[in-house]
Amino acid sequence: MTHQLAALLQEIIDVESVSGNERALADLVERHLAAQPHLTVFRDGDCLVARTERGLPERVVIAGHLDTVPVLDNLPSRYLQTPEGDVVWGRGACDMKGGVAVMLTLAAELAEPNRDLTWIFYDHEEVEAAKNGLGRLAGNRPDLIEADFAILMEPTSATIEGGCQGTIRAELRTTGTAAHSARAWMGHNAIHDLAPALNVLAGYVSEEIEVEGLTFREGLNAVGVSGGVATNMIPPAATLTVNYRYAPDKTPDEALARLADWFDGYDLAITDVSPAARPGLDRPAAQAFVAAVGGEASAKYGWTDVARFSELGVPAVNFGPGDPSYAHRADEFCPVADLDTCAAGLRSFLTSSPESEPTHD
């Protein structure tokens, strides 16, 4: 199985699929899925959905995206033996073609799972939310996403990460008056007006917030600043871009209200809002999954598409091969051991008998 998973991962990596160019990989995935008589396959653009229809009382969605960030001299793939273990190297190995390889393998293998399964392979995850293939599918065919539980195979080093942070990006804009820098008193410096906001950011202390037993750490940071016309001119305008990562104890509106309080008096333009997702680990299917995989769940730092499932009322966790700190790097790779661990965990969850799972009052 180790060799098969690694070989399949290399095959998938070598089909370049930078966002907007997923067609060839979607075609390959469709061929794999269409060859399985136990699956009903649907296609929405470059998003593939494959379902079992056994009439079982529970349905689980397992999802992963096909696209990658741009290539940086990291194709074709390579199989490398390292002191820490064998790895598959190449663009998308970590984020998240390792997860796609596990999904394709188990979609073919699990003809009689203990829960009905929906496998979703979607496009345009690494770009703006408006293009996201999972979001498009939710709009076009919401019935295909309905489930009792969802697993998103984002890289987590083969451990379970529950929920995700929400994120807000905002621009703080100031307006001044242009003047020659030799006669600065005749103008008004818009960049200097950012000082109070920068003081708020410098004095911010990250909050740790527990949600359903998992600890989420919030963050408030400046991520961009712009202003100025010439080096001998008082700047008439300036913009500070701020990113707030908030815990899933807050709605987007509550997070926006906090941001407005922190930067009261500023012209605040919100450029992006994505909701957080609660872990949902109190649900029976989620607890059965944690029991099958073993170990302890932790909080997901960052935003993932589990939030889309959460908005639809489907509890979801992140669970996939690869160290997320290597995502998008030129040297990204996926440990072969992570492929095996994820496949074994999902296989245990989806084939165990009900008698072997924990009971819930």
Catalytic residues: 67, 125
31 token code pair: 């061929």
Enclosing H/E stretch for 64: strand 59-65
Of 337, 348, 320, whose CA–CA distance to 161 is shortest?
320
The answer to whether the CB of 122 falls within 8 A of the CB of 65 is yes
153 token code pair: 């195979």
For residue 58, count other CB atoms closer than 10 A to its CB: 16
The values of phi and psi at residue 211, to 5°, are -130, 115
Of 310, 318, 329, 327, whose CA–CA distance to 166 is shortest?
310
* CB proximity list for 248: less than 8 A, separation 6 or greater: 163, 164, 165, 166, 211, 216, 276, 277, 278, 279
| CA atoms of 7 and 208, how far apart (whole Å) | 41
Cβ burial 221-259 (10 Å sphere, 16+ → b, else e): ebeeeebeeeeeebbbbbbbbbebbbbbebebeebbeeb
CA distances from 112 to 11, 127, 344 (A): 26, 36, 16
